[in-house]
Every structure is written in C-alpha cells, then in structure tokens.
Amino acid sequence: MDYPYLTCREFEECVERFVTRYRPALEDSGTRVEQQTSSAGRQYLVLQRAVYTKRAVSTPVHSVEDIEDDDPAGPAPEHAADDDGTRIEYHTVYSATWRVPVLYVRVVTSSGEVVLDGERVCDMVTEDAEMRRAMAAVPFGGALGVTDHPELGVPFLYLHPCHTADLLRAVVAPPAQQEETGQSVGPDEYLAAWLSLSGAAVGLTLPSIGYC
C-alpha cells in the first residue's frame, strides 16, 4: 500500500507469491528455492545455486595460417565450467528499519570455507567486468559489506538498502501515479522487480516467465 515500502506481513506475502511463481523455473535452471522461517517466526527467502569455476581448455592449432589469421598475441584460451561443490546463497530478509528487503550473500566452497571478501565473491559469480569494476569502486570497501545475518546471527555479505526505495521508484511509480503510467507492482511482482535490480551485482538473474 505504501510502495516501495513494505510492512513485515506484506513482505512475507511477497515471499510466498515469489516462491509459488518462480520456484519451478528457478529449480529447472539449477537454483534451489526455499521459504525459511526464523526462530522468531519471521519468513525470508533463500536461493542457492552452484558456482562454476572456470578452467582453461586448449584449442588445437591446425596450421600456420590459422595462427596468422588470429590476434598477433596468439589464440585466446577457451574456458569450460566445473562444478566443484562451491555454492552461493542469496537470502532476502525484511528490514524493519528500512521497510524494504535486504539481500544477504555468502559463498561456501567445497571445503566448507565461507567467502566474505566482496571483491572475490564478485569475481567468482559476476561475468560482467564492468559490473565488477563498479562494485569495487564504491568507497569504503566496495558495495558489499559484512554484517551478521539478522535471522541466523552469522556473518554474511550484504548490499546496503539505502538506495532500494529510490531504485524501485525509478522502475515503477508510486501507487498514486500507477494508473497514469500503466505500470504497477503488487505482491506477485515486487520481489522479482527488486531482485532483478539488486541481484545482477552478485550474479543472480531470474528466468523470464509470463502470466498464464
């Protein structure tokens, strides 16, 4: 009702609607979707997927002419992806202070190491080099900070929510103006719109799905 701000109950409804709508497509693409309940009875959203590490693949050269036709520095190595057991978790948790969702992130390697270095995580999960540079260029340690997860009490990286409301307003107008613009965001679309804006910075993309 007070877009882009949410009450806790509205947030939990958004989580329920998101899980119902997006779980099949996300799980088909290899992303696990869970609606978790904290010890205090609060709902939050967890997405988890594999982090694929790159390995070089040698490209056979068949002739001298092939080399001459390529870049003078020689052929660039190709890469394939390996699933070595490393996982990234995205936790969407409600902030009563900011009245918007907050994205908490951590990478857990196959050895059990929890990666809390923001630049390293971006290098691992974000293909877009320009996006990685933009994240690293944010003052005071980059766009990802470290704090305790509000429901689990253990350290996570997080994206600070100070610009969340402005970003959502930039995408869709407040309710009073939505009739004029023809755009609207309700419980079905809110988290998808928000994750589409914030998730790209940490390698999270949503599948394109339509309404029935």
Q: Could you say which of 3.30.460.80, 3.50.50.60, 3.30.1460.50, 1.10.3720.10 is the CATH number of the domain covering 8-202?
A: 3.30.1460.50
Of 93, 116, 7, 10, nearest in space to 46 by CA: 93
Query: pLDDT by residue (tens digit) across 194-205?
Result: 998 888 888 999
Residue 173 has what pLDDT? 59
Give pTM, 2 decimals. Answer: 0.79
Q: 160 or 157, which is more confident?
A: 157
Q: Is 16 helix (H, G, I), strand (E, B) or coil?
A: helix
Residue 1 has what pLDDT? 83
- DSSP of 80-114: EEEEEEEEEEEEEEEETTTTEEEEEEEEE-TT-PE
Burial class of residue 131, CB neighbours in 10 A (0-12, 13-18, 19+): middle
Confidence of residue 83 (pLDDT cuts 50, 70, 90): confident
Domain ranges (residues) in the chain: 8-202
Q: 127 or 36, which is more confident?
A: 36
Question: What Cα–Cα distance (Å) separates residue 116 from each residue in 152, 192, 193, 197?
Answer: 16, 25, 26, 22
First-residue to last-residue Cα distance in the chain:
25
